[in-house]
Structure 1
């Protein structure tokens, strides 16, 4: 519990009041002071001194100093007259509490104003410093430009004089050619070139017909065993919706070759139907054909233009799946960028988990290193 200091002494003139509060052996650095127009407080360790002044003072003009044994207040009176007493009498606890709260608020306001003023001055000095640095830099650049121009003029010398002389010289006349001596233009003709249709990429002259026919027959048989041959479809079945449903059915039953064949034939008859590219990229990723998966996703994105809310999910799927495939082929940085771009469009849990897996993979490799 604090010890209330009451053994202070005071004296006055018609303009000032001097109060001396003993420190009781406590060092002045441990004293906490508060002074307002009608209230004085000093606390130092276990000692506490407060004075409710009888009349108001000009606390901004007043001064508080220390000596080795006491605190000395030099208070300037607002009214130049002699006080009957130093402290107010008959103050209740509520009135004292109100004075303390008001004094604390005034002190906080004063400190805040000082801090704002200090910051304002600091900002002003900083701005002045920046302006001065810019001015010095500009002057320096201007001086360098002037020196550069002077050096350029000295180096060129009389180039301008030489240029003026060369302009005055007349160019030699060229020999005139008569128009009737020019040859007639050649006749134009369009040459049509027709190529023999080929299923295989090699030219006809380099092919072996018997072996090629055998290979194509084997491929057709393999497609039939997978459940899809485009040649066997009826005309009414050769529409995008049927082919997409057929491919989805094959994909659901894990018949990946049949699904790829259905989607590929759909791309052939309807190259702008984006779902064929998206679904085929999914199958290519499942069968670990990552390069073709990347190609299908890129082709789908080229057709998802303009980018609007209606195709946002398709764009997110294509970018995310392309990121997964890039990771599989060893392009981790590009894969992370693609996955992040996909998640910015729409948060798809599959790509969130994959991105988390890739990032953890990098952290584990760094820890092992």
Structure 2
């Protein structure tokens, strides 16, 4: 048999009723509390507290807090009045048993409705997750098709260039062969002319005729072959002229970019095909911000992903990507990115206070969306420690406290 608790205390106003029940050194939780309009029960074996109330109360507004060895009930009366006693003394056993059974039935029905509601929410979340995953897969498939088409185009252009080069080389060989043939014919003609001239010269010598001048043979240089000389210029990264540029700063920037490429292994074919500005994390961060402002959150995530691959030590990249994940309801990823941003924002200094506030608020928001309100409240309180004057954060933190209080164990 349970031991009935009778050393409880109670107070009242016209509209409210306060009941304090000692726990007798034992523990109780929300599953041990039952509250309806006319009935209040707390079971913490081997003890039992049971009250059949004098007048009906508003069970939807009433709350119970468990802690410090007591249970404190705050009950709201349906009709403002002052009760003569806490319990209804005119009830017989049959009426009390009927009230108990009705209370249990109502609690069971409410639990069943809660389970059904959670199942509906779970199905909706699964459906949304599936739709998002399918959309991401479609985007990835389209991106792969674009990459393949670009590769095919490049291969076709290279093939056309190779064919053109082969045609030029064949033309050059043909012209060279023609020139050599012309030279060979000229040499044959000269030899024939010399053989015909020699008997005449010998005849003149026999007749005593002097030849005043020796026939000189002109040797013409060979015709130059035509061809192509390839000239390549080293591309300049910065568009300004050297005389107008700041060489030391440009060299420092180039060295940092080279270190970043070595760190992420730029042998990756995908990164090698990027334009020069697309290899700059700051440029990609600005692009992600513009896409986020335009509502294209998936494209913003892709831009920030590439920026993080190029330089994973910039807190703002993770902080901005967490905002995109919140919009896409990728809540676990939003928590991961906010945590990573907080790791990179160490040591905490006044210059990064604003970024730390954003990281705590976004992580706290993601926790609350996952119904982890206690963890979310801790992040909001951490943000308030950094910026105690932020009214928006104060307002949201108070709303979370109310949610936690209204969801306290034992409230029905």
Instruction: Give the TM-score band, short-chain normalised.
Output: 0.3 to 0.5
Higher relative contact order (CA 8 A, sep 6+): 2
Larger Rg: 1
